[in-house]
Amino acid sequence: MDIVSYLKEKAKKNLESKKRTQEAYDQGLKEITDLLNSGEALSTTPSYERYEYDSPSDEEIRKSAEDELKGYLLGNENAIKNEYAEREKELSANKESSKNLFDESSRKLKETYEATSEALSNDALKRGLARSSIALGGQIAASKAYNDSTASLVSEYNRKIGEIDDELAGLNTELAGALDSFRIDYAAKLTQRINELKSEREKNEKEAIKYNNELLEKEYKEKNSAWNQKSSKEQKADKEAYEKALYDKMNEVLSSLPIDQAKRMFSENNKLFRDNLGDVYYYALYMRFN
């Protein structure tokens, strides 16, 4: 291993060692403060389990509300889309029907015209008027009637198809508008549900605090009652036992740390040690860790 790699590895190990030491320092201090806060060193009465309410975050509340309304959202969106799909299908069917009707009507007009033209020609031949102006006039009149009827049929067909195409073109705009309108309603419903869930969270938090405060008050009363029922001699013995238990925990924590960290903890938290230990126990620690 070259010198650079060696120094990097050494620095890494030193950093990890410092991290472990700091974690031990923090954990030890926590154990001491937990013991002080709980009063277990002195307690001869039961402690009641606190209610831990796992308060959801705003993001968790939003996701919960969205999950609740997911079926409502998808169901209504699909219903709107299906409605417009049916209308599109109906219009397309009408367009196809109009085309078929136009083709059929065009065929019949042509057949009628051809039959009329043939009948006029046959009649003119029988009368010997095939080349006369009368025969020509009849053919012109039949042709004009056919052309006029065809033009009228085409015009009516184009009008119907134009109306259907306009409706088809407008469907997408209508669909987008219907979906936008629904989504505005959905957003309002979602916001309302989020606010309801936030109110529930606030209510549960308050109930948890109230419940835990009631337990704390109950514990305090029971401990105070138990303490007052003891003789002065028993109270003194309990205080001494309490102080000894605190000293043992403090000494255990400090002794578990490297000496420099133990001295740092004693120095940085000197008020905690001084306020909770009598002279004998305090100076016993002071002589070792000051």
The domain spans of the chain are 24-53+229-290, 56-208
CA atoms of 290 and 188, how far apart (whole Å): 64
CA atoms of 114 and 180, how far apart (whole Å): 57
CA atoms of 264 and 282, how far apart (whole Å): 16
The pLDDT assigned to 245 comes to: 83
Q: Answer whether 285's CB lies under 8 Å from 250's CB.
A: yes
**Model-level pTM?**
0.49
pLDDT digits (tens, 9 = 90+) for 222-272: 665 654 555 566 556 567 777 888 888 888 888 888 888 888 888 888 888
* Residue with more model confidence, 221 or 287: 287
pLDDT digits (tens, 9 = 90+) for 93-133: 999 998 998 889 888 888 887 777 777 666 656 665 545 56
Packing angle, helices 133-228 and 70-127, rounded to 10: 170
